[in-house]
Amino acid sequence: MDRFQLLKLENLNTSFKIMNSYYPAVDNITMDVFPNEVLAIVGESGCGKSALALSIMGLHNKERSLIKGHIYFQGTDLLSLSVSQLNKIRGKDIGMIFQDPLTALNPLMRVGQQIEESMNYHTSFSKKEKREKTLHLLEQVGIPDPRLTYNQFPHELSGGMRQRVVIAIAIACEPALVIADEPTTALDVTIQAQIMELLKTLQKKSNTGIILITHDLGVVSEMADRVAVMYAGQIVELSAVEQLFNNPLHPYTRSLLNSIPSSSSDDDRLHVIQGIVPSLQNIPRSGCRFSPRIPWIDASHHEDHPVMHEVESNHWVRCSCYKHFYFPNEKVGEK
Amino acid sequence: MAFLEVKDLKVYYPIRGGFFKRVIDYVKAVDGINIRLEQGETYGLVGESGCGKSTTGRALLKLTKTTSGQVLFNGTDLTSVSAHKMHELRKDIQMIFQDPYSSLNPKKRIVDIIAEPLRNYEHLSRKEENKVAREYMERVGLSSDSIYKYPHEFSGGQRQRIGIARALTLNPKLIVADEPVSALDVSVQAQVLNFMQDIQKEFNLTYLFISHDLGVIRHMCDRIGIMYQGRLVEEGLSRDIYENPQHIYTKRLISAIPNIDPAHREKQSAIRHQINDEYNKSYKNYFDNDGKAYQLKAISPTHFVALP
Ligand SMILES: Nc1ncnc2c1ncn2[C@@H]1O[C@H](COP(=O)(O)OP(=O)(O)OP(=O)(O)O)[C@@H](O)[C@H]1O
Ligand SMILES: Nc1ncnc2c1ncn2[C@@H]1O[C@H](COP(=O)(O)OP(=O)(O)OP(=O)(O)O)[C@@H](O)[C@H]1O
Ligand code: SF4
Ligand SMILES: [Mg+2]
Ligand SMILES: [Mg+2]
C-alpha cells in the first residue's frame, strides 16, 4: 500500500507490572491508520483496547509499564521522543476523546476556559481569537447555545453535552489523528447518532484519521472503514468493514457477531461465548489464546504459533482454524 | 383482574432551595402512567436517560414514595396497603439491578448474599441456608461448591446470575429488571438474557424489563412502552413499535438505532435526517400546550399512541 500512513504501529508491546513481573496487555500489535479513515477496534472488556490507545498517547505510568516496538506518527517514532517533544504533539496533532466525559473535564473550570486552555499550549492566538474559536467549536459540535455553555460548568450539562465538550477539546487544534475511546457508550441512542454524524463530518472536512474504540458492533458497522478485532492483547482479524460483517472468519469475530440481539433473529437464542477474557497473568502466551473458549473444536486444528494470514485482499485472520470452526448448534463443515 | 395494573401513577421529587430549604418546585419524574401486565409476559419500558424508567420500577416496589395513583398487584393496591401486608407481598415482587459489580456486598460470601432476603421471612439454620444457597446456585447454572466464595471471584455475568439467584429464593412472581445487562459485554449480556428467558419459563415469571437498549428490548419483550418525560408516548407489541412507530419521538428513537449492516449506511443516515426534520417540524403537534404528551389512544387492539 503506498498511501501515506498517518500512524504506523510496529510490534507494539505494552506490559504492566503486576507483583514483580511485566505482563503484556498489548502483545505485538502491528497496524496502520491512514488519513481520512475510521479504523475501529472492537473486543470484549479487558482485551487491551484502552491500553493500546493510551500507549499511543504516551499516557501510561512509566514506573508501572513497559512499552516496546515503534509508534510512528507522521514518520516520527513517538517512543523516541522526550516528554516535552511529545507534549507538542499530544492535544495538537493527536486528540483523544476519553471514555468518561466527566472525568476528562475539570469540574471547577468553566467549559469555555477548558477549551481555550487546550489551545494555549499549541497556538499563539490572542485572547479574543481563542474565544471566537471556542464559540465556533461549540457550535460545530452541535451545542445549541454556545454563549451560554461557554460560561457553564460541566455539572450543569447533560451527558451528551459534556461528551460534545470533550470532543470540542479533542478537535480544538484540528488534529490529524483522533483517538476516540468508547465515545458514545454512555449516551442515549439519539445522541449517539448525532455524535457519530459529527465525527464523520469532521473527518471529511479535515481529512482526519480516527481510531474508534467500541464494543458496539452497530456503531462499527455505521462508522468504520476498517475494523480490527482484538482478543487478549492481539489482533485476531483485520479487514474492511463490509468484509468483516459479510464474511467474518475468526471464531472470535463470529462469536461476537452471534451474541448481539439483532432484529432479524427475534426468537433465536443468543450465542454465549464460553468462559471469560483471561486476566493479564492468565493469558496463554503460547498457542491460541481463544481456543479455551471454543473447547468443542478439535485441538488438532489449532496452531502452535497462530500468525496473521491474508486470506483475501486486505482481509487478515490469525491462524487457519477458521476453516474448521463451527458453532455447537451448527453441522460440521457448514462454513 | 389484571396481574399488575398501574393506574395514573405519579412520582414527583421535590426540589428544595432558598434559605429555609423550602420546596420550590417538583421534578415530575413519573407523570401519569398506566400499565397492565399479564402473568408470564415481559413488558419492556424504554426511553432516554432521565425519562423516569427507574423511578417507575422503584415505585412498584415502594422503594420510592408515590405522589398519586395506584399499583394494583393481583387486585391489592400496594400504594395503600399496611406495612405488614407489604412485607408479605414484597416476596412476590423482586428487583434486579443494573450493576453486578456494586450491587453485591463485596465483604459477604455468596451463601450469605443469597440467603439474606430469606432471613427476613424465615428462620433457617445455617445448614438449611447452605442447602438453599447451593440449590439456587445450581439453578442459575453456577457450581454449588462456590457458595463460600466472595463476589470478586466471579465474572460480571456470574455476578449478575448471583443477583438473580438471590431474587429467586423468595419465589417471586414479578421481577422488575432495571437495566440488567447494561453494564455487561455483549457476550456476557447474551448469557444473562438467555438465562432470564429460561427461568421465566421455569418459574412462570413476569418481567418489567427496563432498558435504554432497543436491541435488547426487542429481543426480550412481548409488549413495549416508550417513555418520554415521565409519560408513555406509545405502547404496543414489538412489531407495532419497531415496524410501525407512530409517535414522532418513537420514530426518532427507532431511526437512531445503529444498523448492523454496513451496506445500509447511506440509507440509514437518510432516514435519520428525514425523521429529524419531521421531528423538528412537527414536534409541537405531538404535545399539548404545556409540552406534555397526550393520553394514549388505541389505533389497533394492541397499539396505543399519545395523540391529541
Ligand atoms: N495500569 C494497568 N495496570 C495493570 N493492568 C492493567 C492496567 N491497565 C489495564 N490493565 C489490564 O490490561 C488488560 C487490558 O485492559 P484495557 O483497559 O486495555 O481493556 P479494554 O479493552 O479497554 O476494556 P474495556 O472495554 O473494559 O474498556 C486488562 O486485563 C486490564 O486489567
Ligand atoms: N431521588 C431523586 N430526587 C430527585 N430527583 C430524582 C431522584 N431520582 C430521580 N430523579 C429525577 O427524576 C427523573 C427520572 O429519573 P429516573 O432515574 O427514573 O430516570 P431513568 O429513565 O431511569 O434514567 P436512566 O436511563 O438515566 O437510568 C430525572 O430527571 C432524575 O434526575
Ligand atoms: S485455530 Fe488458531 S486462531 Fe483458531 S482457535 Fe485455534 S489457534 Fe486460535
Ligand atoms: Mg477501555
Ligand atoms: Mg434508570
Q: For chain B, which domains are there?
A: 4-221 (3.40.50.300), 231-308 (no CATH)
Give the pLDDT score at A267: 58
pLDDT digits (tens, 9 = 90+) for B232-252: 999 999 999 999 999 999 999
pLDDT digits (tens, 9 = 90+) for A183-208: 887 788 888 898 888 889 888 888 99
Question: How far is A60 from chain B, CA to nearest CA, in Å?
Answer: 25
Overall average pLDDT of the A211-218 stretch: 92
Q: A266 and B191: CB-CB below 8 Å?
A: no
Q: Is B212 in the pocket of ligand 2 (CB under 6 A)?
A: yes
User: What length does chain B have?
Assistant: 308
Which residues on neighbouring strands pair with residue A231, listed in sequence order? Answer: A234
Question: How far is A246 from chain B, CA to nearest CA, in Å?
Answer: 8
A111 CA to centre of ligand 1 in angstroms: 30
Residue A311 exposure: Cα atoms within 13 Å on the Cβ side: 22
Three-state DSSP string of chain B: CCCEEEEEEEEEEEEEECCCCEEEEEEEEEEEEEEEECCCCEEEEECCCCCCHHHHHHHHCCCCCCCEEEEEECCEECCCCCHHHHHHHCCCEEEECCCCCCCCCCCCCHHHHHHHHHHCCCCCCHHHHHHHHHHHHHHCCCCHHHHHCCHHHCCHHHHHHHHHHHHHCCCCCEEEEECCCCCCCHHHHHHHHHHHHHHHHHHCCEEEEEECCHHHHHHHCCEEEEEECCEEEEEEEHHHHHHCCCCHHHHHHHHCCCCCCHHHHHHHHHHHHHHHHHHHHHHHHHECCCCCECCEEECCCCCEEECC
Give the pLDDT score at A3: 61
User: Which of B158, B187, B191 would best serve as a mutation to test chain A binding (most A beta carbons within 10 A)?
Assistant: B187
User: Would you call B189 an interface residue with chain A, using a CB distance cutoff of 8 Å?
Assistant: yes
User: Would you call B243 an interface residue with chain A, using a CB distance cutoff of 8 Å?
Assistant: no
**Cβ neighbours, 10 Å, residue B5:** 17
Residue B106: phi and psi, rounded to 5, are -65, -20
The C-alpha cell at B176 is: 422488575
pLDDT digits (tens, 9 = 90+) for A120-151: 877 788 999 999 999 999 998 888 899 999 99
Residue numbers in A near B265 (CB within 8 A): 221-222
Q: B49 and A188: CB-CB below 8 Å?
A: yes
User: Would you call B49 an interface residue with chain A, using a CB distance cutoff of 8 Å?
Assistant: yes
Residue numbers in B near A255 (CB within 8 A): 187
A162 CA to centre of ligand 5 in angstroms: 19
Alpha-carbon distances of A27 from A13, A20, A69, A208, A306, rounded to whole Å: 5, 19, 10, 27, 13
CA-nearest residue, atom 6 of ligand 3: A302
Round the average pLDDT of chain A to a whole number and report it. Answer: 89
CA dist B235 and B247 (Å) reads 10
pLDDT digits (tens, 9 = 90+) for A275-329: 888 889 889 888 889 998 999 988 888 888 889 999 999 999 998 878 888 988 7
CA-nearest residue, atom 4 of ligand 1: A16
Ligand nearest to the CA of A66: 1
Contact B114, B166 (CB under 8 A): yes
Residue numbers in B near A261 (CB within 8 A): 190, 193, 215-216, 218-220
Q: B262 and A273: CB-CB below 8 Å?
A: no
Burial class (CB in 10 A: 0-12, 13-18, 19+), B108: middle
Overall average pLDDT of the A51-65 stretch: 93
The C-alpha cell at A110 is: 468553566
Q: Is B58 in the pocket of ligand 2 (CB under 6 A)?
A: no
CA dist B196 and B154 (Å) reads 18
**Cβ neighbours, 10 Å, residue B170:** 17
User: Would you call B190 an interface residue with chain A, using a CB distance cutoff of 8 Å?
Assistant: yes
User: What length does chain A have?
Assistant: 335
Q: Is A280 in the pocket of ligand 1 (CB under 6 A)?
A: yes
Q: Which residue has the cell 500489535?
A: A29
Q: Which residue has the cell 423482586?
A: B94
Angle subtended by helix axes B156-168 and B186-203, to nearest 10: 20
Q: Is A183 in the pocket of ligand 1 (CB under 6 A)?
A: no
Atom of ligand 2 nearest to the CA of B227: 21
What percentage of chain B has pLDDT greater than the value 70?
100
Alpha-carbon distances of A253 from A16, A122, B139, B181, rounded to whole Å: 26, 41, 30, 21
Overall average pLDDT of the A88-106 stretch: 86
Q: With the CA atoms of B229, B230, B231 and B236 taken in that order, what torsion angle do they form, in degrees rounded to the nearest 10? A: 90
CA dist B28 and B25 (Å) reads 9
Overall average pLDDT of the A214-236 stretch: 94
CA-nearest residue, atom 3 of ligand 3: A319
The angle formed by the CA atoms of residues A129, A133 and A136, to the nearest 5 degrees, is 145
Among B9, B31, B53, name the best residue to mutate to test ligand 2's pocket (greatest count of ligand atoms within 8 A of Cβ). B53
User: Would you call B281 an interface residue with chain A, using a CB distance cutoff of 8 Å?
Assistant: no
How confident is residue A2, by pLDDT bands cut at 50, 70 and 90? very low
Residue numbers in A near B190 (CB within 8 A): 259-261, 270-273
Question: How far is B3 from chain A, CA to nearest CA, in Å?
Answer: 25
Give the pLDDT score at A335: 45
The helix or strand, by DSSP H or E, that contains position A18, with its residue range, turns out to be: strand A7-18
Overall average pLDDT of the B128-137 stretch: 91
Q: With the CA atoms of B262, B268, B270 and B274 taken in that order, what torsion angle do they form, in degrees rounded to the nearest 10? A: -170
Three-state DSSP string of A162-213: HHHHHHHHHHCCCCCEEEEECCCCCCCHHHHHHHHHHHHHHHHHHCCEEEEE
Query: What is the interface size between A and B, counted as CB pairs within 8 Å?
Result: 101
User: Would you call B155 an interface residue with chain A, using a CB distance cutoff of 8 Å?
Assistant: yes
User: Would you call A291 an interface residue with chain B, using a CB distance cutoff of 8 Å?
Assistant: no
Give the pLDDT score at B182: 82
CA-nearest residue, atom 2 of ligand 1: A16
B37 CA to centre of ligand 5 in angstroms: 20
**Cβ neighbours, 10 Å, residue B272:** 20
pLDDT digits (tens, 9 = 90+) for A6-48: 999 999 999 999 889 999 999 999 999 999 999 999 998 889 9
User: Which of B53, B140, B185, B198 would best serve as a mutation to test chain A binding (most A beta carbons within 10 A)?
Assistant: B185
Question: How far is A204 from chain B, CA to nearest CA, in Å?
Answer: 15
CA dist B194 and B289 (Å) reads 44
Question: How far is A72 from chain B, CA to nearest CA, in Å?
Answer: 30
Restricting to A residues 146-205, those with a Cβ less than 8 Å away from any Cβ of B are 159, 188-190, 192-193, 196-197
Contact A235, A204 (CB under 8 A): no
Restricting to B residues 75-134, those with a Cβ less than 8 Å away from any Cβ of A are none
Least confident of A15-24, A156-165, B34-43, B126-135: A156-165
| DSSP state at residue A90 | B
Ligand nearest to the CA of A251: 3
Overall average pLDDT of the B143-165 stretch: 86
Give the pLDDT score at B15: 84
CA-nearest residue, atom 5 of ligand 3: A291
B148 CA to centre of ligand 1 in angstroms: 28
Reference B171, options B82, B96, B251, B94; nearest CA is B94
User: Would you call A262 an interface residue with chain B, using a CB distance cutoff of 8 Å?
Assistant: yes
Which residues 6+ apart lie within 8 Å of A53 measured at CB? Answer: A96, A179, A181, A211, A213
> Which of A45, A197, A263 lies nearest to residue B185, judging by beta carbons?
A45
Q: Which residues line ligand 3 (CB under 6 A)?
A: A 251, 288, 290-291, 294, 301-303, 306, 318-319, 321
What percentage of chain A has pLDDT greater than the value 90?
56
Alpha-carbon distances of B55 from A12, A160, B176, B210, rounded to whole Å: 47, 21, 11, 11
**pLDDT higher than threshold 50 for residue A334:** no
